Structures are given as C-alpha cells and as structure tokens.
Structure 1
Amino acid sequence: MKITIVYDNVVSRPALAADWGFACLVETEGHTLLFDTGAKGAILLGNMEKLNIDPAAIDAVFLSHNHWDHIGGLADLLRIHDTTVFLPASCPPPENAANIVSIDRPVELFENGYSTGQLAGIEQSLVIRQHDHAVVVAGCSHPGVGAILKAASRFGTVTTLIGGLHGFNEFSLLDPLKTVCPAHCTQHIDEIKQRYPEKALAAGAGRVLEV
C-alpha cells in the first residue's frame, strides 16, 4: 500500500505548497482513495498536479470530519471529478456531490478498507487491513488516539498510524506500533520523534509512505 501526503502544514518536497490542513492519497490493490481535501482547492489540486496525481484516478473521497482545513478543497475537486464521498454522519453533505455515503457505525467501504465509524459524534478514521494487521489514517484524532486505535483494532492488529494527532500525549499507546507518522495538527511531533526515533516518520506534503 502506498500513501502520499498531498496537503500538510509543512512540505517534504520544496516544489509543493504548505498550508494548514491535511490530505493524503491512499493507494491499495484495486482502490485509490483521497483522505480529506485540505483547506484550499487551489493548493490541493496544485500539489496533486506536481505529484502527478490525476484526479480522475480517485475512486472516492473519505472525509474525516467537518472542519474547514479537511473539507475546504472538496468543492474544487468535485468540479473536475465527481466521485463518491464517504463522510461522517455529522458532516453536512456537499451540494455538488452526486454520490454521498453518510457513515455513523463501523463499516466496510471496499475489500479490506473500513471506516471506524463516527467516533465522539464528530470524526471517522480510515482503516486498511493488510493480512492480519491494520493501517490507520486519522484526520485530527478529536475522539482521542486511544478510542481510534480501539475502534480500528476490530479490523486487525494496528501497526501503523498516520495523520493528525492533535494534543495527544498518551505516548505509551504508540509502544505496540511499528510505524507512526504524525502530521498536521499534532502538537507533540518533536517529542514523539524523540521517544520513538526508530518508528516515527516525518510527514509533510510530498512524503510517500510504503506500508
């Protein structure tokens, strides 16, 4: 599985634009999913172009939660490629989306791809199962990293966590993981890297993770 960070507060590749928000492209065998859309469509689409990502190749958009820095680029994307949008039940449906799937409870989106369901009434996370383990992509982790990992564990043993972790500081929850890539709103990125130098990966727009 390949995950490319398209939108983040910092860049991994100098040619890309940094901005407050998050989006990443998740490519599995047979499925290509855009997780969140950042804050601004121009930056989202501009970074995608520089990364040679064709919007038409996106099978679906997965929105983690209804905050401007995660849904802001959706309208511009849908204008050029109207695709399925998986969104948490608390997120109002976008007016220009033809196919909307509102999610409340844990559900299989496609083979080996799942939503944790809407947690704490606000946010869902994406889970990709690979054999007996699971990769989790989180938007901001508003429900808490512990709650997200617990919800994701029903689909497999979680080994990888990628995305925004907000004020998360229960660092022992990361002990069982093999890889963590803190991005976007994570307040304690430096401490996570110091505590887990062998498993913590830098994020930034343009970063490609093979997991």
Structure 2
Amino acid sequence: MEITILLENSKLKGSNLSIEHGISMYIEKNDYNLLFDTGGPEESAIKNAAQLGIDLSKIDAVVISHGHSDHTGGLMKFLEINNKALVYLKKEALTPHYSKRPEGMKYIGMDSEIAEKYSDRLNFIDETTEIVRGIFLVPQISKKFSVPSSNQVLFAKKDEKLIYDNFKHELFLIIENNKDLVIFSGCGHSGIKNIVNTAQNLFPNKKIEAVIGGFHLQAGSFDYALANGEEIEDIAKWLKSEVDGKIYTGHCTGERGMNLMKPVLKDKLEMIYTGIKITF
C-alpha cells in the first residue's frame, strides 16, 4: 500500500506544490485507487495530483471524512474529471456547517451544488461498510473519551438555527494491511482516541500498524481555539500505549500539537507534508 499526501497545510522546502488549509490523500492498495478527502476550496489537491502525475480519472472511489470545506473543497472539480467513482460519505455531511470567527460566523460546509448536480454519485454510509476487500468505512464512532476542546467554535445548522456541531457527519477509514490495521482520520473531531478505540472494538485481535491524519488540536490557524497542553499530552500518552506502529499527523494537529506530542511519542510520531509518500 502506498499513500501520497496530495494536500496538507505545509510542504517541504523547495517543493513547488500548492498548499492551503486542508488535507487529501491518494491511496493505492493492490489495484484499487482511493481518494481520502479532496482538500480545500482552492483545489490545491487537484492541482497537485496533476503535477505529481496522478490520473484522477482512474480513481475508483472517494471517501469524505466529514462535511467541512477544507476536506471537500476539491470534490466538485474531481467529479468533473472523474465520471465513474462513487463518493462515500455520511448524509449529515450535506448539512450547512459554520465556524465562529472574531468577525462573525463563516460558512465552512460543502458546496451545495454537489448534491444538486451529482446526487447519483453520492453513496451515504450509516453503518460499518467494507467497500472492497480489506477497506472499511466506519461512520459510527463510540464516544468513550472526550472530544477535542477546539470543537467549541464549530456549528451546524438545524431547523434554521445554529447549534454546536455534534459531528455525526464524521466517519473514518480502516485498511487492512498484512492483517494489521491502518487508520485514516480526516480531522478527528470525534476525538482520535475515540476513533482508535472504535477500530479496536471492531477488530479486537488486530494490531494497529499506523494512524494517519489530523487530530484537531487547533481550529485552523486561530490561537483562540487550541487544545490545552494537558489534553494534548494525554492524547500522546494514550496513543503511545495503544498504537503498535507509527503515527503520521498534520493539518489540524498543528505545529504546537506536534511539538507537545513529540517528547512523549518521539520517533513514533512523524509529520506529514504535501507531496510525501508513505509506503507499507
């Protein structure tokens, strides 16, 4: 299995790839090609795919982790390029979503035209589903542990009223690799501990080879919605004890989150950058 980071907030020095706030991963497993999230509305992930020689028209499926624009922003362009891939997501991902900023509420939901123009391509998931052999989507995340405190600035619209987002629109991806598990998280709004714990409960006899994705330890680049140091250290200690292999993170984990987790996780923790490849 090979994973190419099509988009992350940062890139390596000297890279000429595009970056923006968002995440997107291209996953090749045997002869199956999967896109996990599509990056932000500047369509950087789509541009980077072309630059890296990745033919998006040959993608077999897209998985949308949740309904925020930094994960769905490239989806409309992708659907124009690719005329066959199904898009797997939760129906709640279509709900309008907002972020509370100092200047007021900002819409951060999916482009509403996607559901209007491409309803036949959307495949809603409400229970654990094996889309092909060894690739599972998990839409029901058990909340044994607390969720990230940085969720406090995130809202959804229900009955024309804004309410705190409960993240029922979030799912995660599990891929079996040599009988072990690789877990993919978009932002981990439901809590990365809860995501990993849910995977453990689904596959109690499997080792976790890797966790890849965002942990939402901060809301964008804003310093008013940060997880506190104790919260981050607790997450790092728990992941160290529960994950057998490596932890690859970035995007909404943030540089501060990385710096606070590194003393606990040490070489077990690696930051992802736009354009890098991870091979198992």
- Measured against the shorter chain, the TM-score band is over 0.9
CA contact (8 A) 2:86 2:121 kept: yes
Q: RMSD in angstroms over aligned alpha carbons?
A: 1.7
CA contact (8 A) 1:122 1:143 kept: no
Partner SS, residue 92 of structure 2: coil
CA contact (8 A) 2:38 2:46 kept: no
1:42 to 2:43 alignment: yes
1:183 corresponds, among 246, 250, 256, to 250
Distance (whole Å) between structure 1 residues aligned to residue 274 and residue 253 of structure 2: 15
Give the aligned length.
Answer: 211
1:96 to 2:161 alignment: no
Distance (whole Å) between structure 1 residues aligned to residue 173 and residue 67 of structure 2: 15
1:133 to 2:202 alignment: no
Partner SS, residue 38 of structure 1: coil
- Higher fraction of helix: 2
Deviations 1:105-134 (A, max 9, x none): 211111000012243512101100123310
CA contact (8 A) 1:116 1:148 kept: no
1:172 to 2:174 alignment: no
Partner SS, residue 259 of structure 2: helix
What's the % identity of the aligned pairs?
29
Distance (whole Å) between structure 2 residues aligned to residue 157 and residue 103 of structure 1: 25
Higher mean C-alpha displacement, 187-196 vs 10-19: 187-196
* Counterparts in 2 of 1:11 and 1:94: CA distance versus 1, 3 Å: farther
TM-score normalised according to structure 1 size: 0.93
Distance (whole Å) between structure 1 residues aligned to residue 80 and residue 116 of structure 2: 11
Distance (whole Å) between structure 1 residues aligned to residue 66 and residue 43 of structure 2: 20
Larger radius of gyration: 2
Structure 2 residue aligned with 1:75: 76
Which structure 2 residues correspond to residues 1-211 of structure 1 after superposition, within 5 A?
1-12=1-12, 14-40=15-41, 42-82=43-83, 83-92=85-94, 94-97=115-118, 98-119=120-141, 120-153=167-200, 154-155=202-203, 156-167=206-217, 169=232, 170-175=235-240, 176-177=242-243, 178-187=245-254, 188-211=257-280
Partner SS, residue 238 of structure 2: helix
Compare relative contact order (CA 8 Å, sep 6+) and give the higher one, 1 or 2.
1
Deviations 1:111-161 (A, max 9, x none): 000012243512101100123310011000011111101222214332211
Deviation at 1:205, TM superposition (A): 0.6
Distance (whole Å) between structure 1 residues aligned to residue 28 and residue 116 of structure 2: 27
Deviation at 1:17, TM superposition (A): 1.0
TM-score normalised according to structure 2 size: 0.71
Deviation at 1:165, TM superposition (A): 0.5
Deviation at 1:49, TM superposition (A): 1.1
Structure 1 residue aligned with 2:152: none
In structure 2, list runs of 5 or more residues that go unmatched: 95-113, 142-166, 218-230
Deviations 1:143-196 (A, max 9, x none): 111110122221433221111101262212211321101110004112223322
Deviations 1:73-100 (A, max 9, x none): 1001101113210011312263333322
CA contact (8 A) 2:236 2:265 kept: no
